[in-house]
């Protein structure tokens, strides 16, 4: 399968533009595209300030389950980061079993505890801030199925 490849441009007015392209299987890092960038820069007056590759990770094996909440409902987990800011992790179609009252995430639930530990281990803030403390969470209610 092809990988998404994105080029980001900015002109002298500060206006930005993005081109979405595809590259072959063998390209897994933006650095592999250096020759293309070298050939691109002379034909544009914009600065090519960033490029990105999208690498696909295979999903999990479990099938979707029947549940009161579909993907329009989200569980929002809230954390403090190492700068003292609030960071959120939002998960679609949360299982009803992780809530105390349909709205509040049960912080004593073992699956919640395992997941918040994984969030702290793997996720960051946009600026690279580490997630430090789980504060709790709630369900964001989307329109329900009729």
Q: What is the rounded distance in angstroms from the CA atom of residue 112 to the CA atom of residue 139?
A: 13
Neighbours of 68 (CB within 10 A): 13
Query: CA-to-CA distance for 64 and 107, rounded, in angstroms?
Result: 24
- Work out whether 24 is an interface residue with other proteins (CB under 8 A): yes
Task: Kindly tell me which of 24 and 103 has the beta carbon lying closer to other proteins.
Answer: 24
Q: Nearest distance from residue 136's CB to other proteins, in Å?
A: 14
Nearer to other proteins, 24 or 82 (CB): 24
**Which 61-80 positions form the footprint of other proteins (CB under 8 A)?**
62-67, 69-72, 75
CA count, 13 A, side-chain hemisphere, 77: 25
Q: Which of 120, 124, 138, 140 is close enough to bind other proteins by CB under 8 A?
A: 124
The number of beta carbons lying within 10 Å of the beta carbon of residue 26 is 7
Please, what is the minimum distance in Å from the beta carbon of residue 108 to other proteins?
14
Smallest gap from Cβ 38 to other proteins, in A, equals: 8
Q: What x/- string results for residues 104 through 123 when contact with other proteins is judged by CB under 8 A?
A: -------xx-xx-xx---xx
Sequence-ordered list of residues with C-beta below 8 angstroms from that of 12, at least 6 positions apart, any chain: 45
For residues 43 and 84, which CB has a smaller minimum distance to other proteins in the complex? 43
Q: Are 137 and 77 in contact (CB under 8 A)?
A: yes
Among 78, 98, 134, 139, binds other proteins (CB under 8 A): 98
Per CB under 8 A, 146 contacts other proteins: no
Task: Report whether 42 contacts 84 (CB < 8 A).
Answer: no
């Amino acid at each position: 399968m092809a990988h998404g490849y994105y080029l980001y441009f900015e002109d002298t007015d500060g206006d930005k533009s993005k081109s979405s392209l595809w590259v072959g299987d063998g390209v897994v890092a933006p650095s592999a595209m250096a020759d293309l960038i070298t050939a691109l820069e002379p034909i544009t007056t914009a600065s090519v300030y960033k490029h990105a590759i999208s690498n696909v990770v295979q999903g999990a094996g479990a099938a979707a389950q029947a549940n009161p909440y579909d993907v329009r409902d989200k569980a929002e987990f809230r954390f403090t980061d190492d700068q003292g800011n609030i960071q959120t992790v939002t998960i679609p179609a949360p299982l009803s079993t992780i809530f105390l009252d349909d709205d509040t995430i049960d912080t004593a639930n073992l699956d919640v505890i395992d997941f918040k530990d994984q969030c702290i281990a793997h996720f960051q803030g946009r600026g690279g801030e580490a997630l430090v403390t789980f504060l709790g969470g709630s369900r964001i209610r989307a329109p329900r199925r009729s």
